[in-house]
Chains A and B, each alone.
Chain A
Amino acid sequence: MRAIVVEDEEPARQLIHSYLTGIDDIQIIGEYADGYSGAIAINRDKPDLVFLDIQLPRIDGFELLELIDCKPQIVFTTAYDQHAIEAFERNATDYLLKPFSRERFLKALDKVREQYQIRAGRQHDSQAPDISSLSDAVPLNRIVIKDSKGIHVVPLDAVSYFEAQGDYVMIYTANGRYMKKQTLKVLENRLNTNTFIRVHRSYIVNTGAIQKIERYEKGSYLALLKGNIRIKISETGYKKLRESLDF
């Protein structure tokens, strides 16, 4: 099996190395100290297994999972993340709480091998890390997007609004727009409902970006955003805005 280690601390990487000495069926093909280069390498090299820390520079472990197109097995290695444990239990082959013993590490490898056999039998129908179930546990404060130009990290307060486009979401910022494969519903669950309000079937708006709200037709309104953009507000959306902005 080909493995990639994404871990920002040198001693922690060395530990995985030393635990792997004498184990022939797993080769480390790359080590990366941040989530960004880790994501790129995983997409390029398509490893079978990733040892993944959660708290990483640039892009964290959860965000990395959103960015990869292949489905390697994930073994999380983390120091302290009580809330996340529950969430990634379902999404990862195993998780290791630092510091972990060699025995515990070998146990994780057994699980990996077992999964590997199952996957080999099913060929392409491999089990994908299911990101959507992370939604409640991990609140969002920025969005990572991968497109043809590369990986973008967009802080939430730079977003003026989101627009639903089928299974995709279009993210509008002052500097441009990005498309991400995610439904508006899933996204809505992970956003802070004080700042981001679903004002319409197709729109979630950043209340900080609203400059004016005008009447459009009977029972519908328009929000005027910075940059002279107008988006539709439904009647329920208008109610939610009134509650949140207190007008």
Chain B
Amino acid sequence: MDSWFFGKRIGIIVFIGWWLMFGTIHALVVAHFFQVAYSIAFVEAAITATLYALLSLGLWFWVRLSNIETSKITTLITNHLGAAIVSIGGILSLVNFLLSRIFSGNQQYVEFINTSIPFRVIVGLLVYLLIVLVFYLITYIQNYREQVLREAELQSLIKDAELNWLKLQLNPHFLFNSLNSISSLTTTDPQKAQEMVIRLSELLRYSLKQSPNSRVTLDNELDNCIKYLEIEKIRFGTRLKYSIDADPECLSLQVPSMIIQPLFENAIKHSVAISPEESVVKAEAIKKTSGVEIRISNTLHAQSSMPGSTGVGLANIRRRLSLIYGTSKLLKIDKSNNTFTAILTLPEETL
């Protein structure tokens, strides 16, 4: 990016054209207003313009490397003021030295050089100011363009994330097994099959309606979890027992949608799905001063102490928590006796 200005041919043309124009104007002004011979005026202009052009090259890199957004404006001004005084002083001394050497025989011109110093200093400072302003402007425009591009990219990333999010929610294994159950129930228990189709549709509609950032009331979210659990109950029968117990005062709290259901899914995956014995999945929502604590526990069977089996599901939840709240520490795991408990703390959000 740093090379944008000089890297492109147009940048070089603009750069050279600008300093040619500056030199020409300089020569014309000196010749016209101060009655200096054109030949001398052009030599003076050439030397001055070349030195300023070199200075501007140095300034270009300084401007590109210093970040205008992070540095303090006062420091920036002080720095540039110092640099301007030093560089303009240096350039003018060099110009004066060179010109008095070249035209040492021309007494009148040497005198002019010395008397015009204040005028040259003012012009020099203005040139410096102009260079810096133009460079900052270019930098600003480029950054702005980059930002627009980045934002577009981010938007498409968010869209992708939303799609992935849907895939994540509709656990294919759950979906196809449920459909298989329905297929079976249509002959054995059509009433139940109908119930299950309706519950499954509601579940799908709920997850399609939500985006990764949307919020719902805890009441809504738990309601959705019950639908999910009821479907699992049809699949697993008496092996699955569940209970949900929530403090009435926290039901109206806003929580990220689809954040609790995966915890139930995880609890089922590590209890009912791996043991032929009865498993109990228990959920509690407890009001805390700063939000709500949700505890979801499941029976831990002997075989469920499988290595590395817990984690993938929970990792997804952690990633979402850190995207939403900026910390993944809101989800804690407690393994004790024969119970596995996921403890989710959701802060109360001011809307």
Cβ–Cβ contact A79 & B176, under 8 A: yes
Q: How far is the CA of A200 from the CA of B182 in the complex (A)?
A: 53
How many A-B Cβ pairs are below 8 Å?
A: 83
Indicate if B273 sits at the interface (CB-CB under 8 A).
yes
Residue of B nearest to A157 (CB): B307
Interface assignment of B105: CB less than 8 Å from any CB of chain A: no
Say how far A101's CB is from chain B's closest CB, in angstroms: 8
Whether the pair A142, B181 counts as a contact (CB closer than 8 A) is no
Which of the candidate stretches B54-62, B115-123, B210-218, B231-239 sits at the interface with the other chain?
A: B231-239
Q: Is the CB of B306 within 8 A of A142?
A: yes
Q: CB distance A98 to B180 under 8 Å?
A: yes
Given known contacts A8-B276, A14-B188, A55-B273, A155 and B305 CB-to-CB distance under 8 angstroms: yes
In the bound complex, CA of A97 to CA of B172 (Å): 12
Q: Are A156 and B185 in contact (CB under 8 A)?
A: no
Q: Do A57 and B306 have beta carbons less than 8 Å apart?
A: no
CB neighbours of A150 from chain B (8 A): none
The residues of A that contact B237 with a CB separation of less than 8 Å are 9-10
B184 beta carbon closer than 8 Å to chain A: yes
A100 to B180, CA, bound (A): 7
In the complex, are the beta carbons of A99 and B179 less than 8 A apart?
yes
B202-248 with Cβ < 8 A to chain A: 234-237
Report the minimum CB–CB distance from A151 to chain B (whole Å): 12
- A168 interfacial contact with B, CB 8 Å: no
Contact at B180–A80, with CB atoms within 8 Å? no
Task: List chain B residues, Cβ under 8 A from A8.
Answer: 236, 273, 276
Bound: A125/B307 CA distance, A = 39
A106 CB → nearest B CB, Å: 15
Say yes or no for B183: interface residue by CB 8 A criterion: yes
* Cα–Cα distance between A10 and B238 once the two chains are bound (Å): 10
Chain B residues in 8 Å Cβ range of A79: 172-173, 175-177, 180
Query: Smallest CB-CB separation from B307: which chain A residue?
Result: A157
Q: Does B187 contact A (CB under 8 A)?
A: yes
Q: Given contacts A55-B273, A99-B182, A99-B183, is CB(A11)–CB(B307) below 8 Å? A: no
Q: How many residues of A contact B (CB 8 A)?
A: 27
Closest to A60 in B: B274
Q: Tell me whether A12 and B181 are in contact (CB under 8 A).
A: yes
The residue in chain A whose Cβ has the minimal distance to the Cβ of B193 is: A11
- Once bound together, how far apart are the Cα atoms of A11 and B185, in whole Å? 7
Q: How far is the CA of A81 from the CA of B187 in the complex (A)?
A: 26
- The smallest beta-carbon distance between B9 and chain A, in angstroms, is 51
The reply to whether the CB of B107 lies closer than 8 angstroms to some CB of chain A is no
CA separation between A83 and B258, bound complex, in Å?
28
B273 touches A141 (CB 8 A): no
Q: Which of A131-147 contact B (CB under 8 A)?
A: 141-142
On chain B, the residues within 8 Å of A15 by CB distance are: 180, 183-184, 187
Asked if A153 is at the interface (CB within 8 A of a chain B CB), the reply is yes
CB-CB nearest in chain A for B272 = A57
**Chain B nearest CB: distance from A136 CB in Å?**
19
Which residues of chain B have C-beta atoms less than 8 A from A12's C-beta? Answer: 177, 180-181, 184
A58 to B176, CA, bound (A): 21
User: Which residues of B have CB within 8 Å of A155?
Assistant: 305-307
25 pairs, CB–CB < 8 Å, chain A vs chain B: A9-B177, A9-B180, A10-B235, A11-B181, A12-B184, A14-B184, A15-B180, A15-B187, A18-B188, A34-B276, A55-B173, A55-B273, A57-B276, A57-B303, A79-B177, A80-B172, A80-B175, A80-B176, A99-B176, A99-B180, A100-B183, A141-B306, A142-B307, A153-B303, A157-B307
User: Which A residues contact B (CB, under 8 angstroms)?
Assistant: 8-12, 14-15, 18, 33-34, 36-37, 55, 57-58, 79-80, 97-100, 141-142, 153, 155-157
Q: A11-B184, A34-B275, A155-B307 are in contact. List 11 more A-B contacts (CB 8 A).
A: A9-B181, A12-B177, A12-B181, A14-B188, A55-B173, A58-B276, A79-B173, A99-B176, A141-B307, A141-B308, A155-B306
